[in-house]
Structure 1
Amino acid sequence: MATARTRRERTAEQITADDRAHVFHPWAAQDLIAPLAVAGAQGSYFWDHDANRYLDFSSGLVFTNLGYQHPAVVAAVQEQAARLATFAPGFAVEARSQAARLIAERTPGELNRILFTNGGAEAVENAVRLARLHTGRHKVLSAYRSYHGATGTAINLTGDPRRWPSDQGTAGAVRFWAPFPYRSPFHSDSAEQECERALQHLDDTLAFEGPSTIAALILETIPGTAGIMVPPAGYLAGVRELCDRHGIVFILDEVMTGFGRTGAWFAADHFGVVPDLLTFAKGVNSGYVPLGGVAISEEIAATFGRRPYPGGLTYSGHPLACAAAVATIEVMSAQDVVGRARRIGAEVIGPGLRALAERHPSVGEVRGLGAFWAVELVRDRASRDPLVPYNATGTAAAPMARFTSACRERGLWPFVHMNRTHVVPPCTVTEAEVKEGLAVLDEALAVTDAYVV
């Protein structure tokens, strides 16, 4: 008779075998990956079938804002499944309308109409379509060092190398440089100068592209996988003014930053800026059931008051996903998860990462807000030469691969991208859990310090 341990091992082996035989993984060379077989998760942790437990400093893909298996969200999905598991999007359904109201009550300004999608990329697709139809224009401006999703238009708007294999230069996308004081494209000496020069660069780009041809400008309020670069004071307000001047729809992509991640309901709240369209997903229901959407201004919504909007999705506003969103928002409100994320960032994560920077010469910069931080790793602090080259692969990326392994061997699952590790735990992470993760980072950074010149 097989022992319990043997049964666990066999289960893990079968899961892995089925995965390798049948699952096609995104963003991966299929023959070169070895996905971990996950047995379970709770709160800020997950574990494999051999009981190896990991503190998740990635929040999945920065979406488990309430952590794993939150009982209120799980119960809401179960109750909704028992009551009405699914229904077509053209009907008024309680979970759908309630989720839309709760989201609209928290978006900045008067973004009171919600178009539901299945995720963030579809939200961007529909935001761009709304802007083009509203303005009658075609071009869309987006920033280098950005990511907006992997669907047709969204990937063409993306500024990082994930765009390259799919970009045929036919999507009407025009890119510009957004501010990034640490690696300034404008050779600025201060955040104030970076803001001024970035806005002038954008103004010049608009002039040479022809403002009357531009439907929309899209920005991640705080770029996510591109590096968590908090924009300097005044920049987003300046972009808002330029868009207003030229009748351009201003889209803020809050897919990663929304719903408490930065210590505000939306990152736009930190800057006092209201976009015309706001995209969201991920944290809206902690990723428990796929959901995204676009929050729409009254002016743009009015364009489609008597003119049909030519778009839709079979699962738009799926009842299970919306029930999870309602429960997530109610928990976040009742337990002040937004304030908790703000405090844990200001009092624990930020100070802890800055202390690591003092001890480790491979740390070039620490930046972030709330539960949304990046650690820039370098070979030389003076030159700011990155630890690995931009978009490095293979042996060139070995230093970051070794850093990742060092974290995982010590029970920490990091979010690593290019020459950075991002610290993006659930917004419900405890002070003790943060300190546990920081202690692992302290040890793992010895690996990157070895590459400092």
Structure 2
Amino acid sequence: MTDFIDLNGAEQSFGDTDAQREVRQNDRDYVFHSWSAQAQINPLPVAKGEGVRFWDYDGKEYLDFSSQLVNLNLGHQHPGLVKAIQDQAGRMATIQPAMANDVRGELAKRVVEHSFEGARSVFFTNGGADANEYAVRMARHHTGRQKVLARYRSYHGSTATAITLTGEPRRWANGTPDAGVVHFFGPYPYRSEFYAETPEQETERALQHLEHTIQLEGPNTIAAIILESVTGTNGILVPTPGYLEGVRELCDRHGIVMICDEVMAGFGRTGEWFAFQAFGVTPDLVTFAKGVNSGYVPLGGVVISEAIHNTFADRSFPGGLTYSGHPLGAAAGVATFDIFEEEQILERVRDLGERVVEPRLRELAEKHPSIGEVRGKGLFWALELVLDRETRDPLVPFNAAGEAAAPFNAVVAACKNAGLWPFAAGNRLQIAPPLIISEEDLVTGLDIIDEALSVADGYYTGK
């Protein structure tokens, strides 16, 4: 029986210890892993992925509830994406970005048409970090200003400007490669920095804080405000009512470019093509990657407004990438739009989110005292875990590591032992399965999380 195909195209069966040993050995001998102490990790060798599941070499099956890095929106080995890449490779594998290319132009057209009113063009990048880098560069050249405001509790990538924009702890060890970045607090009602008692009050006070930051930094020094439309890794923080609209008004008042980072939330994750579309705002620049082609080939980009596009009508834009709009990535991107329409992805994400996920998570919150808050939208949710609901003390401390992180690690291990690969961050279990997931598999995953939460309940210290 064939379980998977190896590197040499040979048919193999699960349980092949020699094959697994070689994969592990090559990884440990030659691969340098991101965000890791190399001697302290033991990466899982994966033999096969299909749909919403993947398997290790022993045949253990995992339900992928994190869509890998929240990019595998159409799942593992989607036949439409695979065929698009194969067909494109057969007719033109690559061409440099200074030349016009049919599939690159077609993808740009579709992205523009599905983004925002007044969108004019797309600059393609290799991923999300460089999309944010280039969006900031465009804003600076467009305005002639240098400062960029970005929120704490954010992640925008790990390249120079992108890691400086990032507001979470992964920024700390990297210093300040871009001195023009200033951070501010966004709305987070559950742990309000503004002592707000309602979402509306949180919006009002968060916007006042942002306005004061702008005033104190000097409005005429600020090129852009960048923010994740729905915060991803740092907590699935959905904007409070009127917040994004308020940011837009402040940007308009002071001539500041509004950049919506849609790298994680874009392409259907919240039930919209782009998450900002649910909040009645029109950004100036939109960055994307991940879901544009489910990460099958590296691809990202910046959607550019008419005004910013025209800034570079008669003067050169100072930037470029060898693989900008790579035909293989673009082909998978075009296929993504076709698949979304054929399989009614947006409709099913909204349906499953509203009818299955939210009600079940609310039930879990009633059952498990360790759940402090449930929040999210579409197939993008977070369970914030606490030691005490009254005090809201988190299950593990902020930026916990080692023994301090043990309680949360135990919850994650319970999920994995039961065959679920969770999206785990901080003190949160975050739910982000492939958008093609069936209702049956969705319920199965939520059942596993239900069981794993009994581990978190064991650490609960509240009444």
TM > 0.5 fold call: yes
1:34 to 31, 39, 42: 42
Once residues 225 and 167 of structure 1 are traced to their aligned partners in structure 2, the CA distance between those partners, rounded to angstroms, is 21
TM-superposed CA distance for 1:179, in Å, is 0.3
Q: Is the 8 A contact 1:67 1:427 kept in 2?
A: yes
Amino acid at match of 2:180: G
Once residues 349 and 327 of structure 1 are traced to their aligned partners in structure 2, the CA distance between those partners, rounded to angstroms, is 27
Amino acid at match of 1:109: E
TM-superposed CA distance for 1:428, in Å, is 1.0
Shift in CA distance, 130/447, structure 1 to aligned 2, threshold 3 Å: same
Once residues 69 and 384 of structure 2 are traced to their aligned partners in structure 1, the CA distance between those partners, rounded to angstroms, is 19
Pairing 1:258–2:266 present: yes
Secondary structure of 1:366's match? Answer: strand
| TM-score normalised to structure 1 length | 0.98
1:143 to 151, 160, 175: 151
For residues 286-325 of structure 1, the C-alpha deviation after alignment (integer angstroms, 9 at most, x for no partner) is 1110000000000000000010000000000000000000
Q: Give the structure 1 partner of residue 386 of structure 2.
A: 378
Shift in CA distance, 85/225, structure 1 to aligned 2, threshold 3 Å: same
TM-superposed CA distance for 1:170, in Å, is 4.5
Once residues 313 and 12 of structure 2 are traced to their aligned partners in structure 1, the CA distance between those partners, rounded to angstroms, is 61
> Where do residues 219-258 of structure 1 align in structure 2 (5 Å cutoff)?
219-258=227-266
Amino acid at match of 1:391: N
Q: Is the 8 A contact 1:108 1:266 kept in 2?
A: no
Once residues 221 and 13 of structure 2 are traced to their aligned partners in structure 1, the CA distance between those partners, rounded to angstroms, is 64
Q: Give the structure 2 partner of residue 133 of structure 1.
A: 141
Q: Is the 8 A contact 1:57 1:414 kept in 2?
A: yes
Once residues 322 and 231 of structure 1 are traced to their aligned partners in structure 2, the CA distance between those partners, rounded to angstroms, is 31
Once residues 439 and 246 of structure 1 are traced to their aligned partners in structure 2, the CA distance between those partners, rounded to angstroms, is 49
Q: Give the structure 2 partner of residue 426 of structure 1.
A: 434
1:66 to 68, 74, 90: 74
Q: Give the structure 1 partner of residue 210 of structure 2.
A: 202
TM-superposed CA distance for 1:6, in Å, is 8.7
Once residues 67 and 230 of structure 2 are traced to their aligned partners in structure 1, the CA distance between those partners, rounded to angstroms, is 17
> Where do residues 46-445 of structure 1 align in structure 2 (5 Å cutoff)?
46-168=54-176, 170-445=178-453
Secondary structure of 1:175's match? Answer: strand
Secondary structure of 2:119's match? Answer: coil
Once residues 289 and 236 of structure 1 are traced to their aligned partners in structure 2, the CA distance between those partners, rounded to angstroms, is 32
TM-superposed CA distance for 1:167, in Å, is 2.2
Query: Size of the alignment, in residue pairs?
Result: 451
Q: Is the 8 A contact 2:120 2:303 kept in 1?
A: yes
Q: Is the 8 A contact 2:14 2:58 kept in 1?
A: no
Moved more, 112-121 or 167-176: 167-176
Amino acid at match of 1:372: F
TM-superposed CA distance for 1:443, in Å, is 0.8
Shift in CA distance, 7/444, structure 1 to aligned 2, threshold 3 Å: closer
Once residues 332 and 354 of structure 1 are traced to their aligned partners in structure 2, the CA distance between those partners, rounded to angstroms, is 29
TM-superposed CA distance for 1:339, in Å, is 1.2
Once residues 303 and 339 of structure 2 are traced to their aligned partners in structure 1, the CA distance between those partners, rounded to angstroms, is 21
Secondary structure of 1:446's match? Answer: helix
Q: Is the 8 A contact 1:278 1:296 kept in 2?
A: yes
Once residues 170 and 320 of structure 1 are traced to their aligned partners in structure 2, the CA distance between those partners, rounded to angstroms, is 32
Structure 1 stretches (4+) deviating beyond 3 angstroms? 3-7
Amino acid at match of 1:148: H
TM-superposed CA distance for 1:109, in Å, is 1.6
Cα RMSD, aligned residues only: 1.1
Q: Is the 8 A contact 2:128 2:289 kept in 1?
A: yes
Q: Is the 8 A contact 2:161 2:177 kept in 1?
A: no
Once residues 84 and 425 of structure 1 are traced to their aligned partners in structure 2, the CA distance between those partners, rounded to angstroms, is 33
| TM-score normalised to structure 2 length | 0.96
Once residues 44 and 5 of structure 1 are traced to their aligned partners in structure 2, the CA distance between those partners, rounded to angstroms, is 20
Structure 1 residues not aligned, in runs of 5+: none
For residues 426-449 of structure 1, the C-alpha deviation after alignment (integer angstroms, 9 at most, x for no partner) is 111111011100111111111110
Amino acid at match of 1:70: H
Amino acid at match of 1:99: L
Shift in CA distance, 254/16, structure 1 to aligned 2, threshold 3 Å: same
Structure 2 residues not aligned, in runs of 5+: 1-10
TM-superposed CA distance for 1:5, in Å, is 5.6
Shift in CA distance, 150/346, structure 1 to aligned 2, threshold 3 Å: same
Shift in CA distance, 7/180, structure 1 to aligned 2, threshold 3 Å: closer
Amino acid at match of 2:196: S
Secondary structure of 1:114's match? Answer: strand
Pairing 1:16–2:40 present: no
Once residues 6 and 332 of structure 1 are traced to their aligned partners in structure 2, the CA distance between those partners, rounded to angstroms, is 33
